[in-house]
C-alpha cells in the first residue's frame, strides 16, 4: 500500500470505528483484500476479524458489494446493527426479514447503496441458492468473506456439511477474491479450508492464539454448585456463561441460580426456537447476567463484556475450549475462564461419540488433547498456544493457576512417582493410562482380573487418590519425560531412560495437584491489568453504563453495539467536555460523536454537578 492509501485507511478507521490504529495482522488482511488476493485469516476471539472485511468494503476500488457468509442470524444482526450505528450501509438477507425489507435491500443493491451484504451458507447453496447467486452476479460481488470458516473442515470442531458447498462461490464469482476467517484452526484445518474453498495462492495470516487478558484455572469437580458459587462471588453483577454437558444439567443449574436471585437463563437445543431467541436477546441486551447453556449457545455471541466463562464439564476438544472460553473478555479487558472437570467427563464423551458414530481417530485425538490440558500442571497459556503449533516465549503468564502458584506442591513427589512408575513396569509397559489407574486404585475390573494384576504388590497402593488427580500425575510424569505415551489408537505407557533413573531414586521429580477447597476459603479474584482501571472514575463509569443501557433499549440494539466497556472506561478516564475531545476517546468516531456526543457529554456534566448543555 502507498502512503496515501495508508492515510485513507487510518482516516476511515477513525471516522467510522473510532480507532486510531490497527490490531496485529488487521492491516495485512485488509491489504490482501484490497489487492484482490485470496486469504485465510486466523485471529483470536476479540482480535478484530470483522474489521478485516468491513473496512475494505468502504475504501476498495470499483463497484459491487462485499459478500459476508455467516452461520447464524443473530451474528448477522449484531454486526449489521453495529455497522449501521457507525454509519456504514450494510444489510442481512435471512429468513426473519419481511418481504418489504427484502425489496428495500434489493433496491439498495441495485442502486449501489449497500456496501456489505450478510447471508447464511444455506441462503447461498441451499434451496433457491442458484437463482440467488445468479441475481448477485448481475449486481457484482467485489469479494466474499467466509466467517467461522473452521466449519468447512472435517478436522475442525464444528464441521457443517453445507460449508463444503461454498466452493461454488469460486465458479459463480471467478473475479472476486475469497477470504476465510476463523478464531481457531490448526495447520491441518487451515490446509483443509484452502482446499475446500479452492483458494488461489492465498495469503495465510495466523495471529497469536494467546489471550493474555484471560485468567485460566482448572479444578477437579467436587461440589459443583459450591464451586460455581465461588466464581460468581468474585464477579458479582458481571456477565458470564456457564457451560454444561447436558440439557438436564443446564435446567438444574439455571433453576438453582434463579433461586439464589441471580438473573440466569437456560439455553439448549431442546428449548423451542422462540424461547432460545428470547433468552439470547435478554442476555445480549443485559436483561440477564448469566447464560447457562450447552454448546448450542455461543457461535455469534458478540457481547463484549463477559467477565467469566465456567465449564461445568470438560469440552470434547481444546478447539472447543478455546472457542467457548474465548467468549470471555472480547473487549480486551480482564476476565476469568475456569474448567471444573471429572475424569468421567471424558468417558462420557467417548460413549456419546461412539453411540453417534463420531468416535473417529481424529475425535479420539482431540479428546485426549483436552484430557491432557485438564490434568496437566504447567502454564495454561503455554499449553493452549503450543497446541496450535505456536511458540510461547514468556517465562510466566501471571494469569493461570500454575503461574499464580495456586497448585499445591507434593512433598514426597519422588515416592509417589516411584509407586506409579513401578506399576507401569510391573504391567510390562504394555498397558494404557486407564488400566494403570485401575491397578493403583485397586479396582478389580475385567481387564485387571484377566491379567491377574490384582496380585501385584502395587495393587490399591493409591486407593485414596481421586481418579482425576491420579491421571494428572501421569500427565505430569509424561510432561517431565519420565513416561512415554506411545502413538496409535491404543497408546500404552512406557518408562523412559529418565523414568528408570527416577525409579532407582536417581532423578529429581516435582509433582503438583489442584488445591483442595477449604470451607469458607475464597479464591483470589483474577488480577486485572492495572492500566485498564487506572485513572477511571468508577462512579462516572457506572453512570455511563446506565446511559448506554437506556440508549440501547430505546434503539432496540444490544448495549455493546452502542459502546464497548473499554470505551466507557476511556470516557470515565478522560472525562471529555467538548465534541472535539470526544474524538480522542477509544471507539468513538465522527458518526458516534455526532450521534451520541451530546448525550454522553451531558452525563459527564451531570456527574460533575454541572448543568446540562441546553443545546
Sorting pLDDT into bands at 50, 70 and 90, what band is 297?
A: low
Residues 562-570: what's their mean pLDDT? 91
Q: How many CB atoms lie within 10 A of CB 449?
A: 10
3-state secondary structure 330-344: CCCCCEEEEEEECHH
Q: Any idea what DSSP says for residue 164?
A: G
Residues 309-332: what's their mean pLDDT? 91
Sorting pLDDT into bands at 50, 70 and 90, what band is 79?
A: confident
pLDDT(525) > 60: no
Burial (Cβ within 10 Å: 0-12, 13-18, ≥19) of residue 524: exposed
Task: Name the grid cell of 584.
Answer: 480522542
All structural domains of the chain:
3-206 (3.40.50.300), 214-405 (3.40.50.300), 409-513 (1.10.10.10), 530-607 (1.10.150.80)
Name which of 43, 39, 59, 8 is nearest 176 in CA terms: 39
Those residues with Cβ within 8 angstroms of residue 118's Cβ, 6 or more apart along the chain or in another chain: 68, 70, 76, 79, 80, 90, 91, 92, 93, 94
Angle, in degrees to the nearest 10, between helices 538-555 and 565-574: 130
Residues 354-365: what's their mean pLDDT? 84
Q: Which phi-psi region, left, alpha or beta, contains residue 220 (left: φ > 0; alpha: ψ -120 to 50)?
A: beta
In terms of DSSP bridges, do strands 214-220 and 335-341 run parallel, antiparallel, or are they unpaired? Answer: parallel
Those residues with Cβ within 8 angstroms of residue 385's Cβ, 6 or more apart along the chain or in another chain: 208, 209, 210, 391, 392
Q: Are 381 and 210 in contact (CB under 8 A)?
A: yes
* pLDDT, tens digit (0-9, with 9 covering 90-100), for 194-235: 999 999 999 999 998 899 999 999 998 888 999 999 999 999
Q: Are 114 and 106 in contact (CB under 8 A)?
A: no
Sorting pLDDT into bands at 50, 70 and 90, what band is 3?
A: very low
Q: Name the most confidently modeled range: 46-50, 124-128, 215-219, 610-614.
A: 215-219
Residues 452-476: what's their mean pLDDT? 90
CA 553 to chain CA mean position, Å = 27
pLDDT at 128: 78
Please tell me the least confidently modeled range out of 3-17, 65-79, 527-541. 527-541
pLDDT at 521: 46
Residues 38-64: what's their mean pLDDT? 87
Sorting pLDDT into bands at 50, 70 and 90, what band is 263?
A: very high
Which residues are bridge partners to 144 per DSSP? 67, 178
Phi and psi torsions of 444, nearest 5° = -90, 75
Q: What is the pTM of this model?
A: 0.77
Residues 391-396: what's their mean pLDDT? 91
pLDDT at 252: 96
Q: Are 155 and 186 in contact (CB under 8 A)?
A: yes
Q: Are 563 and 548 in contact (CB under 8 A)?
A: yes
**First CA to last CA distance, the chain:** 43
Amino acid at each position: 500500500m502507498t502512503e496515501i492509501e495508508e492515510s485513507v485507511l487510518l482516516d476511515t478507521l477513525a471516522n467510522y470505528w473510532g480507532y486510531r490504529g490497527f490490531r496485529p495482522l488487521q492491516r495485512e488482511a485488509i491489504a490482501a483484500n484490497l489487492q484482490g488476493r485470496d486469504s485465510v485469516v486466523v485471529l483470536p476471539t476479540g482480535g478484530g476479524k470483522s474489521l478485516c472485511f468491513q473496512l475494505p468494503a468502504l475504501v476498495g476500488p470499483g463497484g459491487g458489494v462485499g459478500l459476508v457468509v455467516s452461520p447464524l442470524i443473530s451474528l448477522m444482526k449484531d454486526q449489521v446493527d453495529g455497522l449501521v450505528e457507525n454509519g456504514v450501509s450494510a444489510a442481512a438477507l435471512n429468513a426473519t426479514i419481511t418481504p418489504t425489507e427484502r425489496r428495500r435491500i434489493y433496491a439498495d443493491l441495485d442502486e449501489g447503496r449497500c456496501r456489505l451484504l450478510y447471508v447464511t451458507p444455506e441462503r447461498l447453496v441451499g434451496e433457491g441458492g442458484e437463482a440467488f447467486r445468479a441475481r448477485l452476479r448481475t449486481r457484482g460481488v467485489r469479494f466474499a468473506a467466509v466467517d467461522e470458516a473452521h466449519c468447512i473442515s472435517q478436522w475442525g470442531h464444528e464441521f457443517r456439511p453445507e460449508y463444503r458447498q461454498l466452493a461454488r462461490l469460486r465458479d459463480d464469482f471467478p473475479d472476486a477474491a475469497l477470504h476465510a476467517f476463523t478464531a481457531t484452526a490448526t495447520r491441518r484445518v487451515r490446509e483443509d479450508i484452502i482446499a475446500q474453498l479452492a483458494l488461489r495462492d492465498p495469503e495465510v495470516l495466523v495471529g497469536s492464539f494467546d489471550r493474555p487478558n484471560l485468567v485460566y484455572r482448572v479444578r477437579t469437580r467436587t461440589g459443583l454448585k459450591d464451586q460455581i458459587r465461588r466464581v460468581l462471588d468474585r464477579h458479582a453483577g458481571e456477565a458470564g456463561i456457564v457451560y454444561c454437558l447436558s440439557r438436564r444439567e443446564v435446567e438444574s443449574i439455571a433453576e438453582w441460580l434463579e433461586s439464589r436471585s441471580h438473573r440466569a437463563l437456560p439455553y439448549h437445543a431442546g428449548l423451542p426456537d422462540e424461547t432460545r431467541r428470547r433468552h439470547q436477546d435478554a442476555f445480549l441486551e443485559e436483561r440477564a447476567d448469566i447464560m447457562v447453556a450447552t454448546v448450542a449457545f455461543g457461535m455469534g455471541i458478540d457481547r463484549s463484556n463477559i467477565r467469566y466463562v465456567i465449564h461445568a464439564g470438560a469440552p470434547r476438544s481444546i478447539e472447543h475450549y478455546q472457542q467457548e472460553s474465548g467468549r470471555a473478555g472480547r473487549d480486551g479487558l480482564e476476565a476469568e475462564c475456569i474448567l471444573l472437570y471429572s475424569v468421567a467427563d471424558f468417558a462420557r464423551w467417548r460413549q456419546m461419540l461412539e453411540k453417534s458414530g463420531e468416535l473417529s481417530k481424529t475425535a479420539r485425538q482431540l479428546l485426549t488433547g483436552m484430557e491432557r490440558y485438564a490434568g496437566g500442571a504447567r502454564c495454561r497459556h503455554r499449553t493452549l498456544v503450543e497446541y496450535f503449533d505456536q511458540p510461547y516465549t514468556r517465562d510466566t503468564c501471571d494469569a493461570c493457576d500454575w503461574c499464580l502458584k495456586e497448585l499445591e506442591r507434593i512433598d514426597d513427589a519422588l515416592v509417589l512417582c516411584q509407586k506409579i512408575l513401578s506399576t507401569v513396569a510391573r504391567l510390562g509397559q504394555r498397558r494404557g493410562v486407564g488400566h494403570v489407574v485401575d491397578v493403583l486404585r485397586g479396582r478389580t475390573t475385567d481387564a485387571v482380573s484377566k491379567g491377574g494384576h490384582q496380585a501385584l504388590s502395587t495393587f490399591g497402593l493409591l486407593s485414596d487418590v481421586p481418579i482425576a488427580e491420579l491421571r494428572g500425575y501421569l500427565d505430569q510424569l509424561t510432561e517431565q519425560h519420565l513416561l512415554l505415551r506411545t502413538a496409535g489408537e491404543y497408546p500404552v505407557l512406557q518408562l523412559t531412560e529418565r523414568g528408570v533413573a527416577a525409579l532407582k531414586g536417581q532423578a529429581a521429580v516435582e509433582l503438583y495437584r489442584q488445591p483442595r477447597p477449604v470451607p469458607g476459603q475464597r479464591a483470589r479474584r483474577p488480577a486485572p491489568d492495572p492500566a485498564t482501571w487506572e485513572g477511571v472514575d468508577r462512579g462516572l463509569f457506572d453512570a455511563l453504563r446506565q446511559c448506554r443501557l437506556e440508549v440501547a433499549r430505546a434503539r432496540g440494539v444490544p448495549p455493546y453495539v452502542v459502546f464497548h466497556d473499554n470505551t466507557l472506561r476511556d470516557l470515565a478516564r478522560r472525562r471529555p467536555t467538548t465534541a472535539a475531545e470526544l474524538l480522542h476517546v477509544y471507539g468513538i468516531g465522527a458518526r458516534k460523536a455526532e450521534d451520541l456526543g451530546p448525550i454522553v457529554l451531558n452525563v459527564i456534566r451531570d456527574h460533575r454537578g454541572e448543568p446540562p448543555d441546553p443545546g
